[in-house]
Amino acid sequence: MSTSDVKLLGRCASPYVNRVQIALNVKSIKYEYLEENLSSKSSLLLNANPVKKKVPVLIHGNRSVSESLVIVQYIDEVWTSGPCILPSDSLDRAEARFWAAYIDDKWFPLATEFKLTRQEEKKLVVKQKIIEGLMLLEEVFVKCSKGKAYFGGDSIGYLDIVLGSFLSWLTAIELTSDVCFLDMTKTPVLVGWSDRFRSNDAVKNIVPGTEKVIELLNVYLKLSSTLKAYAYVFNQTI
C-alpha cells in the first residue's frame, strides 16, 4: 500500500493522537500531519469524522478512520511489512484489546478525577485506585512481555502504545500535585518499562515533554472548573 496518501488530523500533545503517530513510526509509514484547531474545526475534519468530530482521524486515500484504538488496529492490519503491533495469537489479541479498554475507560479517567478533586479524603481514595490500577497493569506486563522489554515482547506493541501515550500526562499530574504514582517500591517493572518506552526511536520525538504537558494542563484547569467541563476539553480527542 502507498504511504504517500496518508494524512493524520491531530492536536498538539494529545495522547490519543500520539498513539497514532507512534504506530505510524513503528511501521515506518510516511504521512502528512495536519494540526487541528478544535475551537474552529476544519471542514476536512468535519467531513472525515462527521459523527464525533474529534481527532485523531487517519485519512488513507479516500478512506477515513476515526478513534485512536481503531486507527492503530487499522495501521497494523493494512501495513503488514513492518513489525506487528497487536499479538498474532487470537486470544492474546483479545486480551490486549481488553486491557486497552481498561486503561482508557477505567484507569486514566482516575488521573483527571484526582487532579480536580479538592477534598483530601476523596483525593487519597482516588490516588490509591490509580496506584492499584498500575499494580494490576504491572502484572499484565509481566504476563504479556514474557521477560522481554515491552508489553509487545522485543518491540513496542499495542498495550505499550496505549499506556505509554499517557506517561507524560501522568508525570505532569504527579509533579503538579506532589505525588508519585509510578513507584519503584510498588511498580518497579513499569518504572523500567516507562524509561525504555520514552527513549524508543518511535516515541521520543512524538510524546511531548513534561513542561509542555504541564502548560496545557494548567490551561485546561483554568478553563474547567468542574470535572465535567475538564472532560469536555480533554475529550475533544479520543
Indicate the domain borders of the chain: 6-78, 90-234
> What's the pLDDT score for residue 218?
80
For residue 65, the model assigns a pLDDT of 97
CA-wise closest residue to 200 among 173, 161, 171, 169: 161
Q: What is the pLDDT of residue 230?
A: 47
Query: What's the one-letter identity of residue 91?
Result: L
pLDDT of 228 reads: 46
- CA gyration radius for the chain? 18
pLDDT of residue 224: 57
Residue 36: predicted pLDDT: 94
Q: Which residue has 501515550 as its cell numbers?
A: 165
pLDDT of residue 225: 52
**Tally of CA atoms within 13 A in the half-sphere of 3 that contains its CB:** 14
C-alpha triplet 167, 173, 176: angle, nearest 5°: 140
CATH number for the domain running over 6-78: 3.40.30.10
Q: Per the confidence metrics, is the pTM higher than 0.85?
A: yes
Cell matching residue 38: 478544535
Tell me the average confidence (pLDDT) per consecutive run of 10 residues in the chain, 238 residues long. 78 93 97 92 95 95 95 97 94 97 96 90 97 98 97 97 96 94 97 97 92 83 55 47
Inter-residue contact 114 to 123 (CB < 8 Å): yes
pLDDT score of 126: 97
> CA-to-CA distance for 203 and 23, rounded, in angstroms?
9
Domain 90-234 class, CATH top level: mainly alpha
Nearest to 3 by CA among 23, 26, 45, 32: 32
The dihedral through the CA atoms of 93, 94, 99, 102 has a sign that is: positive
pLDDT value for 223: 66
6: phi then psi, degrees, rounded to nearest 5: -105, 125
